[in-house]
Amino acid sequence: MGDIAENKGSFYSNAEVYWKEVPPTVDGMLGGYGSISNIDINGSKAFLQKFLGEGEGKTSPGCALDCGAGIGRISKRLLLPLFKTVDLVDVTQEFLDKAKPYLGDDSKRVGHYFCSGLQEFVPESGRYDVIWIQWVIGHLTDDHLVDFLRRCQKALRPNGLVVIKDNVSYEGVVPDDVDSSVCRDLEIVHRLVARAGLQIMHEEQQADFPKEIYQVHTLALR
């Protein structure tokens, strides 16, 4: 990602410009693939429920952070049904403004709406049981992703988890000039996770997505 490292400013500002033009809808959040939302949520729920519960080593259903939350699709369908409190962070204020009416009554259990890029965001130390990072790591440079994951680790409560769910390329780093992002292969993602000092507790590939889109993998990290 040498070119990105040299042009960090435009990499981030171009992404902000792109997302400001995206409609604040589920279809907009999913790049026109709104039809996959149910499959995505059901897969994520089955993945997450492997860890949640009472007892030794289990993750408490207390507080979750939705990173790159958009209008709150994941908060509404996945996190708020499972956690007492959820915080949302997104770089686009319009999406966060839309989130409150979109979440409806459940918005009462939202602790904070943070408008920030993840490269600058510092989650509160020791606050979260789960930090959910979906379809957004491609908007961070390698160094910023490693730094953000380190900050996430400090923000976890005992037995907490950082979960990354994202597209993976077949080989190397594939840039997307449309939304100013990159897609990394799984080996690179593993290497960045290790650099951040996190261990992969479990990993799965999302099943039943359309064949024309990237494979999507979910990683639980501690």
Say whether 3 counts as a known binding-site residue. Answer: no
In tens, the pLDDT along 109-158 reads: 999 999 999 999 999 999 999 999 999 999 999 999 999 999 999 999 99
Fold of 2-221: Rossmann fold (3.40.50)
- The neighbour count for residue 125, using CB atoms within 10 Å, is 11
The two most distant CA atoms of the chain are separated, in Å, by 47
Whole-number pLDDT of residue 200:
98
Say whether 73 counts as a known binding-site residue. Answer: yes
CA–CA distance, 135 with 176 (Å, rounded to integer): 13
Say whether 206 counts as a known binding-site residue. Answer: no
- The neighbour count for residue 94, using CB atoms within 10 Å, is 15
**pLDDT band at residue 4 under the 50/70/90 scheme:** low
CA–CA distance, 144 with 33 (Å, rounded to integer): 28
Say whether 119 counts as a known binding-site residue. Answer: yes
Say whether 177 counts as a known binding-site residue. Answer: no
In tens, the pLDDT along 152-193 reads: 999 999 999 999 999 999 999 999 999 999 999 999 999 999
Say whether 68 counts as a known binding-site residue. Answer: yes
Question: Residue 135: which residues within 8 A CB-CB, separation 6 or more?
Answer: 68, 165, 166, 167
In tens, the pLDDT along 43-97 reads: 999 999 999 998 899 999 999 999 999 999 999 999 999 999 999 999 999 999 9
Question: Residue 57: which residues within 8 A CB-CB, separation 6 or more?
Answer: 159
Say whether 127 counts as a known binding-site residue. Answer: no
**Does residue 2 register a pLDDT over 50?**
no
Say whether 166 counts as a known binding-site residue. Answer: no
